[in-house]
Chains A and B, each alone.
Chain A
């Protein structure tokens, strides 16, 4: 257990529905990453926060994806109008230098 928690751990949704995931970081870590990982692949960068500011977002990320980190504490990742290709593990990591990953949210879009 790294101290980073994610909720829910599993989410099954129908294509076209919206989903929201939550990440609770280690409290003293002001830097937070979201990644997406599919089977057999390495984590793919989605976005980066420093405190409440979203400083970088992957250019590969469609407009259906949005992330927030109000007050620089927990973060949420929302996917609108889900597609089957969104099925993946969504990982949150917080970091002073090394990245502490949460257990992830496994999304299945049917």
Chain B
């Protein structure tokens, strides 16, 4: 079955350092969504990417969708303590309504 993997599983950074998480799907995606989940909270939507090679920016966050639509990345510039949480990608595929969530990357920011 379809799998979505994320690396790294954990990342500890000093405040101000950059952070990147990578998402890889075993199958071609129609779109990919990114979510942030704070400890004890529920996933919160960040962005959706649809087009091959698409790049979107939200302040310090940059999201990319691979040319083959099988991978994606989230890059945070100059992390802040408020960035702490687990970042999930969720892949959608044609012919199905379901989203497959990745394994997540847990980010810890040290002040």
Contacts and interface: CB of A to CB of B under 8 A. Distances in A.
Interface of A: 2, 31, 33, 35, 40-45, 48, 50, 55-56, 58, 91, 93, 97-104
Contacts of B98: 33, 45, 48, 56, 58
A2 to B, nearest CB: 8
A77 to B, nearest CB: 16
Interface residues of B, number: 19
Contacts, number: 53
Contacts of B103: 41-42
Contact of A45 (B44, B48, B99): B99
Interface in B75-100: 88, 90, 96-100
A48 B33 contact: no
